[in-house]
Amino acid sequence: MTTTAPRLLQVRRSVRVTPRMVRVTLGGDELAGFGGTGPDRRIKMFFPVPGQERPAVPRASTGGPVWPAGEARPTIRTYTVRRFDPDGGELDVDFVLHEGHGPAAAWARDAQPGAWVGVSEPGGRYDPDPAADFHVVIGDETALPAVATVLAALPAGVPAVAFLEVADAAEEQELPGAAELVWVHRGDAPPGEPLAAAVRAATFPAGRGQAWLSGESTCVKDLRKHLLDERGLDRRAVYATGYWRAR
């Protein structure tokens, strides 16, 4: 089976969505045919290392990716498509600027128009169950780009609530869809603890629910168990992914 080579794209612009989140808009000829529509579409991003203008990216082959000889490997991280506009030829990716800034966040913070980055074909997709009686969406700031795409895909007229943990009120942002938004401010609490407490204390709508949750790994694991064991959700109706782990 032949793999697909990453696309080399360039920054068109960047904006601060909140004090701790920056949105980078990418474009380029290689974006043609990109399959980035739909909820929770995840991509690998290839960031140049010091001394590179463009990141080294592998070419596709029947035996797997083949890296260019003599070039330093890029930094690779997983992100979620925030917005893809095939007509306008634009791809938005949101980056959380954590304290200390990892290499990907540092790149996003400093990226100027024209800067190069590699982007893989998107994978994964969450499909809302049209027969569910209600939907629950749970995440922290690292999950907000995916949360936005999930909320936009939920069926109209079905009760939905989203529990979202961020550092403080300044990190709240507008999100699509008609779900009830419950913003939880972390403050000085350990990541995930305020979110877990809010979900456990909430009253869910009646009926058979479907849940999507992502964020800090320990919190996601704990809440997945809560949804299955204490809320009685069907295992197949709970989609959970740990994005990162608090130290």
Interatomic CA distance for residues 104 and 240, integer angstroms: 24
Q: What is the pLDDT of residue 181?
A: 98
Interatomic CA distance for residues 40 and 36, integer angstroms: 9
Strands of the sheet containing 134-140, edge to edge, are 180-185, 160-166, 134-140, 209-216, 238-244
The band of 1, judged by pLDDT with boundaries at 50, 70 and 90, is: very low
**Which residues is 153 bridged to in the sheet?**
none
**Mean pLDDT (whole number) for 1-25:** 89
What percent of the chain clears pLDDT 90, i.e. is strictly above it?
85
Is residue 39 within 8 Å of 128, Cβ to Cβ?
yes
Interatomic CA distance for residues 185 and 89, integer angstroms: 36
Q: Tens digit of pLDDT for each residue in 143-196? A: 999 999 999 999 999 999 999 999 999 999 999 999 999 999 999 999 999 999
The band of 3, judged by pLDDT with boundaries at 50, 70 and 90, is: low
The architecture in CATH of the region 134-244 reads 3-Layer(aba) Sandwich (3.40)
Residues whose CB is less than 8 angstroms from the CB of residue 229 and which lie 6 or more positions away in sequence, other chains included = none
Q: What is the distance between the terminal CA atoms of the chain, rounded to a whole angstrom? A: 39
Q: What is the pLDDT of residue 101?
A: 66
**Mean pLDDT (whole number) for 34-43:** 91
Interatomic CA distance for residues 133 and 142, integer angstroms: 27
Indicate the helix (H) or strand (E) that contains 225.
Answer: helix 217-225
H helices present in 27-169, as ranges: 103-110, 144-153
pLDDT above 90 (res 124): no
**Mean pLDDT (whole number) for 110-135:** 94
pLDDT above 70 (res 27): yes
Q: List the helix and strand counts (H, then E) for the chain.
A: 4, 11
Residues whose CB is less than 8 angstroms from the CB of residue 109 and which lie 6 or more positions away in sequence, other chains included = 22, 95, 97, 101
For the domain 7-119, what is the CATH code? Answer: 2.40.30.10
Pick the closest to residue 43 from 97, 123, 111 (CA basis).
Answer: 123
For the chain, give every domain's residue range. Answer: 7-119, 134-244
Q: Tens digit of pLDDT for each residue in 83-94? A: 999 999 999 999
Q: What is the pLDDT of residue 221?
A: 96
What percent of the chain clears pLDDT 70, i.e. is strictly above it?
97
Q: Tens digit of pLDDT for each residue in 58-80? A: 988 887 888 999 899 999 999 99
